[in-house]
Amino acid sequence: MQLPGKNGLPVNLLAACFNNTSATYKFYWFLSIIQSIESGETRIFKRDLFARMISNAWYTVHYFHVSFGQQDKLQRSIEVIKDFESLMIDDDKEKVFQTLIKTKNRDTLSQLQYFNNQVPHWFLSPWFSQMNKMEIYKSSKDQTNKSLYALFDKEIEINPEWKNYLAENARVLKDFCYWNLVMFLQSKNPNVPDIPNKLIKPAIRNNLNKQRTQFWDIVLNELGSIKCIYTGVKLTTGNYAVEHFIPYNFVSHDLIWNLIPADKSFNSSKSDKLPPLETYFNQFYYLQKTAIEIVREKSPKNKFLEDYLTIFSNLDEVGSLPEHFTKEKFRERIQPLITIASNNGFEFLK
């Protein structure tokens, strides 16, 4: 992905800011600058930008548990600021931002101030290679250098020659930033699914009404009732929750092979906890296998059956393979996801 060019501007140097990145701060710093430009700001307080960096990455770190790498200071700051400010893991970006720009908590302020020692001047290194921090601060104020911004003690000032370019191309620049961020995070999380959809908190989570009425109600109507695999409570049509066996926060999808009926009260308390497979896998598998068999018979063209084709090459395997081979195929899909999710910080049910 290339940045749009403009005569007289060293756009190549802006693109070079993202070469050889070893941490996420460059992506979130630039993204925060663009967001400020979109709000009409050209002289921007650094603290506001640091607060935006934290708020932009908040959901990715806390809700989806995406790793930024062991040495990433931004991730560590996000993790500790949550406790300093009593924020929730799924608080939206604006709430986090407003909390951080108003806070008087010394620990939080210390975390934000750390970025002032690293981020603003090193981002400009493509313009000022071989210079130290003090030299970059001084040279950035000379507009003939055409650096993106000038550095001051508490602020940055966008170079007038860059202002229109950033404003006119804000959407493309953000896409460029997110694209590079996805590539970076995928390298740190090679087995984590759907990284692109874990960068921004969705406005509204999809409800699971269709999965309930068009799939699991068919199963419960045929069986009359089933037992919740977690609590043993009797579940009937209209009296159950549809829940993600592996948390949505990790898989980031609503495919039917990961959804099962569950006790409503348990579903709300399970939150994003992982189910220990030694306790729950057999019951989960047999419920899924029974569901496939019933829906294939009662609703053979049911679109949700297609979700299972990511596990079985065709649904005839469910009936034709020996049971242990079919179960192993299912486990081969589930087990690695549980392991990776655990390694990324998701906790197990107790």
Q: What is the 3-state secondary structure (H, E, C) of the chain?
A: CCCCCCCCCCHHHHHHCCCCCCCCHHHHHHHHHHHHHHCCCCEEEHHHHHHHHHHHHHHHHHCCCCCCCCCCHHHHHHHHHHHHHCCCCCCCHHHHHHHHHHCCCHHHHHHHHHHHHCHHHHCCCCCCCCCCHHHHHHHHCCHHHCCCEEECCCEEEECHHHHHHHHHCHHHHHHHHHHHHHHHHHHHCCCCCCHHHHCCCCCCCCCCHHHHHHHHHHHHHHHCCEECCCCCCEEECCECEEEECCCHHHHCCCCHHHEEEECHHHHHHHCCCECCHHHHHHHHHHHHHHHHHHHHHHCCCCHHHHHHHHCCCCCHHHHHCCHHHHHHHHHHHHHHHHHHHHHCCCCECC
pLDDT band at 187 (very low <50, low <70, confident <90, very high): very high
pLDDT at 1 over 80: no
pLDDT band at 233 (very low <50, low <70, confident <90, very high): very high
Of 90-104, 232-246, 299-313, give the lowest mean pLDDT range. Answer: 299-313
Q: How much of the chain, in percent, has pLDDT values that exceed 70?
A: 98
Model pLDDT, residue 76: 94
pLDDT at 32 over 70: yes
Q: Which residue has the higher pLDDT, 171 or 4?
A: 171
Of 7-21, 210-224, 303-317, give the lowest mean pLDDT range. Answer: 303-317
